Structure 1
Amino acid sequence: MSATQPITILFADISGSTRLFETLGDVDARRIISSALTALVRISNGHGGRLIKTIGDEIMCTFPAAVQAAMAACDMQRCISTDPAFVADALGIRVGFHHGEALLENGDVYGDAVNVAARMAALSKREQIVTTASTLKDFTSIGGIRSRALGRARVAGKLLPIEIVDLIWQEDTSNLTSIQRAIRVEDTQQGSRLTLRHRGRAIELREDGPPFTMGRDPASGLSIETEWVSRHHATLECRRGLWLLIDRSTNGSFVRIGDEDELRVHRNELPLRRGGCISLGQTVAAGAADLLMFEIG
């Protein structure tokens, strides 16, 4: 059953997980990250939140009201920064959230508000909580929540930059400048970029650049000479800050965003988020030799 309603979406991402895997190995690193994610979910539940999904080392939760998400976010930061086990492993988290209309369907959440919340998390630095100014507009002094303006940032799907803020969660703010690293406004106002990697080659696409073509045609931006790839297979382009994969092929394109389920795009468009992989003409598993890895930032 589907329903659209106002809701707050929060993403919390563990910073430093790559270093853990490199230094401790897969088993110990996974155990530490799992323990941290369990703590974050417990805090979310304690503030009336609901876990929607875990995406690698990131959780996505929803809350009925923005104030609940804000208080949960502050408690998440305090927990990771003070728990001896997490401090010993030098863990940190980035948190972003946004309140808006979203579509609730089969236990998941979709829509513009989700994209904005994900963008807030992407803009957040280690030990930082970033949200939109509109999310905090109806806040009172409840919970002693304080915030400061960070300027404006571009968000995929939004024609104009939006005002963003971060929450001051530290009890002691005497060293706020060194701990709470603000986002530089000039950085957030740069155009969106997509980095595409294929067989050791890295290609950077810019928001203001022309559409990037992929297919068997030697004149394509990326030429892949295999029988299951169409001559003019697909295009990557940015519209109003939102990156799209546009398929024009016979066999379709297969996309996996993060750890989400694989999607097939056939003569249609698919908005891309954060990062993942693309396989032209066959499933991701079957096309492992020619996977296109993408990252948006």
Structure 2
Amino acid sequence: MSSMLTIVFADVAGSTKLFETRGNLEARRLVAAILNALAEVTARHGGRVIKTIGDEIMCTFPGPMQGLLGAVDMQKRIAQDLDFARDSLAIRIGLHHGETLLEDNDVFGDAVNTAARMASLAKREQIITTASTVKLLTNAGMLRTRSVGQARVSGKQKPIDIVDVMWQEDNSNVTMVQRAIRIDSGVWSRINLALRYRGQATGLDQFAQPFTLGRDAASGLVVDADWVSRYHALIEYKRGYFVVSDRSTNGTYVKFGEDQEVRLHRDEVRLRGGGIISLGQSIAVNSEHLVYFQCSDLDAPPQADSPA
């Protein structure tokens, strides 16, 4: 029997390393816990689990809205679980709405192949779907998406348009203009915070919009490392000083001068003086991706003479 359904594939990112570091029994327990959590979310959105294959789950939903909202809640459920975050576990999701063939409690057809292809394109903490699926929504404003180009799918003559579903709570900041001042612009009197990352220098003043740091290309400062979340941390000016807040799975590490580093997880700290910010890993093991900062008075140039 044929039917129009939304097919969702979700699989665990980081499971291979998990088996190496935690052993088979504990790794299987954690993977099973993730798959059970995904099954619970699926049921809440009116979906049905078709099968699990290793560390992957395949589900169906009656329509694209249920499937997309279900996928968003899957990501949020896993990202908010401290047990999973402790082992750097996350999920990647691909989905597509189309015609399917139901047979012996399994699902086949073009929509399944396309959804599986979307899942293969997704990175950890990402939801990839087809533009045609999003266009079927009657209230697309409930979701934030962005085009990520085209992809070829086996059996289709032409490539199809694909989109990224942006599910993190701080997505509203992605579309903001990052009001940053380049340090070489000669306007030191307006800079309160200097940032330096891999030779890239940026300054923020007290009127700056919230400034994002993360792996996503739309971030104000892009830090492209596997352990960095797409929307990892936020720097904003409030109550008279700059604050860095963590929005990630793996946490944010901050070190002030010679003090011990502080780990933030869904928390924030005031930036003062000079120091180092490390996304996702302790400073000691993350030497290639350190962000140096220097706070200064409004009328004094910041001293950002940290290693490039």
TM-score (norm 1): 0.58
1:124-203 equivalences in 2 (<5 Å): 124-141=122-139, 144-173=142-171, 174=173, 178-180=214-216
The list of structure 1 runs, each at least 4 consecutive aligned residues, that deviate by more than 6 angstroms after superposition, is none
In the alignment of these two chains, the number of paired residues is: 180
Is the Cα–Cα contact under 8 Å of residues 147 and 165 in structure 1 kept in the other structure? yes
- 1:4/1:151 CA distance change after superposition, 3 Å: same
Q: Does 1:88 align with 2:86?
A: yes
Secondary structure, in 3 states, of the residue corresponding to 2:169?
coil
* Structure 2, gaps ≥5 residues long: 175-211, 219-308
Aligned equivalent of 1:120: 118
AA aligned to 1:133 is A
Deviations 1:100-122 (A, max 9, x none): 00000110000111000000000
AA aligned to 1:104 is L
- For 2:133 and 2:71, how far apart are their aligned partners in 1? 14
- 1:104/1:150 CA distance change after superposition, 3 Å: same
Match of 1:56 among 54, 57, 61: 54
Q: CA deviation at 1:178?
A: 2.5
AA aligned to 2:142 is G
Aligned equivalent of 1:38: 36
Which of 1 and 2 has greater Rg? 2
Q: CA deviation at 1:181?
A: 6.2
Aligned equivalent of 2:22: 24
Q: Does 1:4 align with 2:2?
A: yes
Secondary structure, in 3 states, of the residue corresponding to 1:157?
coil
TM-score (norm 2): 0.56
Aligned equivalent of 2:12: 14
Secondary structure, in 3 states, of the residue corresponding to 1:25?
helix
Secondary structure, in 3 states, of the residue corresponding to 1:172?
helix
Deviations 1:33-81 (A, max 9, x none): 1001100010011000100000100000000001001001001111111
Match of 1:72 among 52, 70, 73: 70
- For 2:164 and 2:37, how far apart are their aligned partners in 1? 22
Instruction: Give % identity.
Output: 56
Deviations 1:136-181 (A, max 9, x none): 1121336821111111101111111000001010111247773446
Is the Cα–Cα contact under 8 Å of residues 46 and 62 in structure 2 kept in the other structure? yes
Secondary structure, in 3 states, of the residue corresponding to 1:160?
coil
- 1:85/1:181 CA distance change after superposition, 3 Å: farther
**What is the alpha-carbon root mean square deviation over aligned residues?**
1.7
AA aligned to 2:214 is S
Q: CA deviation at 1:84?
A: 1.1
